[in-house]
Chains A and B, each alone.
Chain A
Amino acid sequence: MLALDTQKEIAQLLSRYPIKRNALLPILHVVQKGNEGYLTPELLEEVAGICEVSQTHVEGVISFYTMYKLEKPGKFHLQVCTCVPCCLVGGEELLEHVEQQLDTHAGHTADDGVFSVEEVECLGACSYAPAVIINEDYHEQMNPEKLDRLMDELRTQGQAHA
């Protein structure tokens, strides 16, 4: 069962489109956000009902887009870009550094669920490369030192909340 706030947000989204299916992508975002950043089969079924589409349709959609997750990400989800412009100025090295620091591989969660790392294609911050997204925020012109400092802060934050 979706939280009341999520339901309200969904109702608001539905009011912005001519047909319910149109709101599928934004609704999935809202539902995912309300469930610690990932989707479950039960949630997919619920969303299918709301948008009046089949469950296969919803599953086909989430498998097409990279931002919908079926596994629980870390409290802080790092997307490290290694596409062309970022790669030219150290994106790969940045990813390697993160993997080393967290002793994990891209695509996994580390540090008791505080961080998860993902290697991603172009994030659209090419003139400010290399770029990293942490949850919803862009961190640009990154280097290993800057990222370490940032992650230290987040780790303290994350543990304080936990």
Chain B
Amino acid sequence: MLEETLILFRNIRNPDYDKSLKGYKKAGGLKALKQALEMQPDEIVQLTKDSGLRGRGGAGFPTGLKWSFMAKDTGKPTYLVCNADESEPGTCKDRELMLHDPHQFLEGMMISCLAIGCRHGYIYVRGEYWPSIKSLNAALQELYDDGILGKKLLGKGPKLDLTVHPGAGAYICGEETALLDSIEGKRGHPRVKPPFPAVSGFNACPTTVNNVETLTCLPFIVNEGAEAFKAFGPENNAGPHLISLSGHVNKPGVYEVRLDANLKDIIYDFGGGIPNGKQLKGVIPGGASSSVLTADEIDVTYSFDALAQAGTMMGSAAIMVFDEDTDVVKLLHRIVRFFSHESCGQCTPCREGTHWARMIIRDFLNGNGNEHKLKRLHRVGGNMMGTTVCALGDACGMPIQSFTTKFADEFRDVQALAA
């Protein structure tokens, strides 16, 4: 039986936990920040590198390495922007941290600011998350009132301010350069790279963008050391991981796991299996943009590397489960409708392709599909992949290609039924 590792959720799973600053301190909070204040920035970066921490936003890029890319001595301020624009369908892990244990996350953010020499950090929270925004603002107020944030961090460190910045409803702003455009007060269009944010980010200053969960790992790493963090999870997949489990499972929820757990066990142990005694049809293992796995493909280790080998990805660790009665054509329609709605529209293949694909799938839903359209849908999906500025083209293309390949017969059934 799989059990949760309780690192990030240590406090959250404690029913008596008081999420105020007082409660957080009582639970041992801010110790890591005090320690980090005694360290050189380079030491924090090195420690993070050693810990093997990889970004929890979806791409899995090594965090310490990302920090080390920050342009130095530019004469410009450096920024840490936290990506709390949790918007990949299926993902709702960051909001748990922001809602129920904001101080742990903020401590991680403060440590990270020290590591990259940031004096004003921004937390870009998706606009719909008003409860999370209120929770963070209340926590920040406590930190200011207590003299922890402000002119001198913890009363003796460098100046540090943190500001919560609400988004306004755009999935694409979860893409880090679109997020930077958005926080600058513009439309959120992903930027062409290079230059990378580490050289030219927020207001053209060196910037690192990190996910909430990524930053929340920092207090543990500083407190317990890189090795202790590495010890959670297999090689190259270090540390605890939050997964969001949704869809047709008995116990949907956000769970903290080691990345050596089996996907099947996650679904059956944490999720408690499929409701109403139904059979599993398939799993979308890493957010709406990941390739779908069929029921007989789920005996796979849930890690960055193992999922990549299985031809899909861990992405933002959002597992969506669907049972035997699910209409996959409708499911794909929902996925593609989402990407078509969220495309910023700047790149030709994504702007035109997401909409076109949606129209073709709608034909299938209306019983107007045929073999030719199925091929075309597959091709349109493929033509969006690898041909756009950001990954949204791929994000829409991958599910299209995997659904039309793995569930091709169901598309044919729809047309047979209609005929």
Interface residues in chain A, defined as those with a beta carbon under 8 Å from any beta carbon in chain B: 16-19, 21-26, 28-29, 51, 53, 57, 60-61, 64-68, 79, 82-85, 87-89, 121-129, 133, 136-138
Contacts and interface: CB of A to CB of B under 8 A. Distances in A.
7 contacts: A21-B185, A22-B183, A24-B185, A88-B320, A89-B248, A136-B131, A138-B131
Contacts of A18: 77, 203
A11 B161 CA distance: 17
Nearest to A126: B246
B287 to A, nearest CB: 9
Contacts of B252: 126-129
B170 interface: yes
Given A22-B183, A61-B186, A84 B335 contact: yes
Contact of A85 (B86, B246, B337): B246
Nearest to A64: B187
Contacts of B90: 84-85, 122, 126
B334 A82 contact: yes
6 shortest A-B CB distances, which residue pairs?
Answer: A66-B169, A24-B185, A65-B168, A136-B130, A21-B185, A67-B169
Contacts of B245: 127
Interface string B118-147: 000000001111110000000000000000
Contact of B185 (A23, A67, A82): A23
Contacts of A24: 185-186
B187 A85 contact: no
B92 A128 contact: yes
B95 A124 contact: yes
Contact of B326 (A61, A79, A88, A133): A88
B341 A121 contact: yes
Contact of A29 (B166, B247, B337): B166
A26 B165 contact: yes
Interface residues of B, number: 55
Interface string B295-331: 0000000000000000000000010101000100011
Interface in B178-235: 182-188, 203
A132 B348 CA distance: 33
A79 B115 CA distance: 40
Interface in B278-302: 284, 288
Given A88-B247, A127-B92, 13 more contacts: A16-B163, A19-B203, A22-B185, A25-B185, A64-B344, A79-B128, A84-B331, A87-B334, A122-B171, A123-B128, A126-B252, A127-B252, A128-B253
B338 A122 contact: yes
A17 B161 CA distance: 11
B354 interface: no
A28 B246 CA distance: 33
Contacts of B163: 16-17
A25 B133 CA distance: 14
